[in-house]
């Protein structure tokens, strides 16, 4: 079934630990995105990639890094987790970045940093 | 950057109509999207407006006025399954989406 998968589904992480959230899409979409969703704040863009081999910073990039080695995968790494990074993380993809090219979202990763 | 405002919560009765307003201030505009998000799930696409006017898709319609920085999502013939959060999102001049905090709609029998 075509779509976006994220792993893990949920995670409890000790502060200071390194963590990589995985995201894979099989729709051959060019653009991919990472958002965090916090109560009352809505979805905020962390990092994005318009095409394989390129990445860019979103609204809240500090403490996070990404890579885009190929079209399908877009992992998000927390180098040293802090409690303020407790959130729900959504990966999304779109065929392009213009027109009615909507973003499709993965099921999310629920992260608790203690 | 973008400033996107929408009401926090709305309640309506099954079979009724609800209108969710969204106002925005942008440094560039390349379209407005509405998404639906059920509790504990991912957002899913509902509608897209880039020109002024009304777009209708079944029970859902979305309106845009670019000069006023205003959009609304109209949900008709409400059903219990329409209880969800509705997210307004604006695509800026860099083609990135900025989201409002979402409006939680509760449909009561």
Model pLDDT, residue A68: 97
**Mean per-residue pLDDT for A87-94?**
97
**Mean per-residue pLDDT for B30-35?**
94
CA distance A32 to A106: 11
Counted across chains A and B, CB pairs separated by less than 8 A come out at 47
Check whether A26 has a pLDDT greater than 90. yes
Token pair recorded at residue A49: 């990639």
What is the tens place of the pLDDT at every residue in A48-80?
999 999 999 999 999 999 999 999 999 999 999
Nearest to B103 by CA among B17, B18, B1: B18
Contacts of B6 in chain A (CB under 8 A): none
- Do A90 and B31 lie within an 8 Å CB cutoff? no
Check whether B73 has a pLDDT greater than 60. yes
Model pLDDT, residue B27: 80
Using CA of residue A90, residue B70, residue B78, residue A39, what is the dihedral sign? positive
**Mean per-residue pLDDT for B30-54?**
95
With 0-12 / 13-18 / 19 or more C-beta atoms within 10 angstroms meaning exposed / middle / buried, residue B13 is exposed
With 0-12 / 13-18 / 19 or more C-beta atoms within 10 angstroms meaning exposed / middle / buried, residue A16 is exposed
Contacts of A45 in chain B (CB under 8 A): 96-98
| % of residues, chain B, pLDDT over 90 | 86
Confidence of residue B56 (pLDDT cuts 50, 70, 90): very high
CA distance B36 to A98: 21
Nearest to A8 by CA among A92, A103, A105, A111: A111
Contacts of A95 in chain B (CB under 8 A): none
What is the tens place of the pLDDT at every residue in B75-101?
999 999 999 999 999 998 878 899 999
Cα B34 to chain centroid distance, Å, stands at: 4
What is the tens place of the pLDDT at every residue in A28-52?
999 999 999 998 888 999 999 999 9
Could you list the beta-strand ranges (E) of B1-109: 3-5, 9-13, 18-25, 32-37, 44-49, 53-57, 60-65, 70-75, 84-91, 97-99, 103-108
Residues with Cβ within 8 Å of A22's Cβ and at least 6 positions away in sequence, in order, are A6, A7, A8, A73, A75
């Amino acid at each position: 079934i075509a779509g976006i998968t994220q792993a893990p589904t949920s995670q409890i992480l000790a502060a200071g630990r390194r963590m990589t959230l995985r995201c894979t899409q099989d729709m051959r979409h060019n653009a991919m995105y990472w958002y965090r969703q916090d109560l009352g704040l809505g979805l905020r863009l962390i990092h994005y990639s318009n095409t394989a081999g390129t990445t860019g910073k979103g609204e809240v990039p500090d403490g996070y890094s990404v890579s885009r080695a190929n079209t399908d995968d877009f992992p998000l790494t927390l180098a040293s987790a802090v409690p303020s990074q407790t959130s729900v993380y959504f990966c999304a993809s779109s065929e392009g970045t213009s027109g009615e090219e909507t973003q499709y979202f993965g099921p999310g990763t629920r992260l608790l940093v203690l | 950057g973008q400033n996107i405002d929408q009401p926090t919560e709305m309640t309506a009765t099954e079979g009724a109509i609800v209108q969710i307003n969204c106002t925005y201030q942008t440094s560039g505009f390349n379209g407005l999207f509405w998404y639906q998000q059920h509790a504990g799930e991912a957002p899913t696409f509902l509608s897209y407006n880039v020109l002024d006017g009304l777009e209708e898709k079944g029970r859902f319609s979305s309106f845009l006025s670019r000069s006023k920085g205003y959009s609304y999502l109209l949900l008709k013939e409400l059903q219990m399954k329409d209880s969800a959060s509705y997210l307004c999102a604006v695509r800026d001049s860099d083609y990135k989406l900025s989201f409002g905090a979402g409006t939680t709609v509760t449909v009561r029998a």
